[in-house]
Amino acid sequence: MEWNTTVKNRIESRLNDKESSLAAYACKSTQAVRFHEAPKDIRPDFFHDSDKIIHSYCYSRYIDKTQVFYLVENDHITHRVLHVQLVAKIARTIGRFLNLNEDLIEAISLGHDVGHTPFGHDGERIISGFLQEQGEGVFEHNVQSFRLFHDLEAYGKGLNLTVQVLDGIICHNGEILQNSYGCDRNKTPERLLAEYRESLKGNFKSRNMVPMTLEGCVMRISDVIAYVGRDIEDAIILKLVERESLPREVTEVLGDKNGLIVDTLIKDLVNNSIDKESLAFSADVFEALNRLKDWNYKNIYLNPKKSTQDEKIKAMFRTVLEECLEELGSDKKVTGINHWFNSMCAEYKETTSKSRVVADYVSGMTDDYLMNAYKEIVIPKSFGISFK
């Protein structure tokens, strides 16, 4: 069905009014660039990208991907899908207060973590180690998020997202905390692609990338704001830590509950960044946030109670990775990798090494899918009532 001409003109006029009201240093939708030409759509480009992302296969797998805590039977613990929604909400709130492009912020936020492996950062390290042993570069989840949307979705053709969205996705790194976030407006699409390819090889650390838009910077810091307090709440529910053990010099500045922490960080960031071309916290809030992040690492992420199953998880990953490597191109049908590989386009099959194919496939698994693949490999199967 075609748009009614009068209605279409009204929609376009309202969209133009909204664009013209954005801050001078915001990234306008009219500045959107794609690597390949795309049919014109009444939806603004970044808004359209959000639709592409939420309808992708990799987005649907968020629902069973670890955020921090795995192998726990508690439905109130944050999974990757909830974390992504929290990031999007926080980032859009900051973007609205700073009068930036919320459509761009939302698209980056929704897509930023699709490259995460099963079992979170632990799985990421195992797969990266596997690739290094094979002489095939490294694995970083933010680079894999870019890879999924640019090279793997749509059976190897990619989704042709805008350069600005892809840039924000690959440049996100919630592990790095900075007091000031500025953007590199001179970055070109060609340079972005070159940095992506060098990151896959391990020749360029993606943590050194700088977003090309301020919206990308907003999402980058929102990632930290979304997880730093929420992980504490999850850890308290799981009796890993107690609220009373939080450092007083931190809670006096930020608060001792996730809601207070998020509220303080958003207000402080906006207070120090409004009508400026970069983002910054005040000195005392930044210091408190840095201390809280360090406390989380020592008391939550590296807590011995959390790591009691790590060797088993590593053995499970290694078994599945090695089986996939052996199975790829053979007649075996244990892990399903050949079915997936055969569905990909000819260019992907011709240009991708076996070990990178295995990394692409296993990293895309959900937690349960990986465990089921492992069981299929190692647990004997019944012959039934006879050998027929």
What is the sign of the dihedral through the CA atoms of 209, 210, 212 and 215?
positive
**Looking at residue 71, what is its pLDDT?**
64
Structural domain ending residue among the three candidates 242, 269, 301: 301
What single letter denotes the amino acid at residue 186?
A: N
Judgement on whether residues 151 and 66 belong to the same structural domain of the protein: yes
Judgement on whether residues 191 and 173 belong to the same structural domain of the protein: yes
Judgement on whether residues 240 and 271 belong to the same structural domain of the protein: yes
Cβ-based neighbours of 182, under 8 Å, separated by 6 or more: 210, 217, 277, 278, 279
Domain range for 67: 33-301
Judgement on whether residues 343 and 271 belong to the same structural domain of the protein: no
Neighbours of 290 (CB within 10 A): 15
Q: Does residue 236 form part of some domain?
A: yes
Q: Does residue 6 form part of some domain?
A: no
Structural domain ending residue among the three candidates 281, 301, 321: 301
CA distance 58 to 156: 13
**Looking at residue 386, what is its pLDDT?**
75
Burial class for 201, CB neighbours closer than 10 Å (0-12, 13-18, 19+): exposed
| Secondary structure class of 306 (helix, strand, coil) | coil
CA distance 348 to 355: 13
**Looking at residue 180, what is its pLDDT?**
86
**CATH number for the domain that contains residue 40:** 1.10.3210.10
Token pair belonging to 160: 């042709």
Judgement on whether residues 247 and 217 belong to the same structural domain of the protein: yes
Judgement on whether residues 93 and 49 belong to the same structural domain of the protein: yes
Structural domain ending residue among the three candidates 280, 301, 322: 301
Judgement on whether residues 267 and 336 belong to the same structural domain of the protein: no
Q: Of 254, 336, 340, 238, give the one whose Cα is nearest residue 295.
A: 254
**Looking at residue 380, what is its pLDDT?**
84
Q: Does residue 12 form part of some domain?
A: no
Token pair belonging to 48: 């359209």
Q: Does residue 114 form part of some domain?
A: yes
Rama region for 281: left / alpha / beta (φ>0; ψ in -120 to 50; rest): beta
**Looking at residue 46, what is its pLDDT?**
97
Judgement on whether residues 79 and 185 belong to the same structural domain of the protein: yes
pLDDT in tens, the chain (388 residues): 888 999 989 999 999 899 999 999 999 999 999 999 988 889 999 999 999 999 999 999 988 887 766 666 666 777 888 899 999 999 999 999 999 999 999 999 999 999 999 998 899 999 999 999 999 999 999 999 999 999 999 999 999 999 999 999 999 876 778 888 899 999 999 999 999 999 999 988 877 889 999 999 999 999 999 999 999 998 999 899 999 999 999 999 999 999 999 999 999 999 999 999 999 999 999 999 999 999 999 999 998 888 888 999 999 999 999 999 999 999 988 899 999 999 999 999 999 999 999 999 999 999 999 999 999 999 887 767 777 6
If one counts the domains in the chain, the total is: 2
Q: Does residue 324 form part of some domain?
A: yes
Judgement on whether residues 77 and 188 belong to the same structural domain of the protein: yes
CA distance 100 to 106: 11
CB 220 within 8 A of CB 268: no
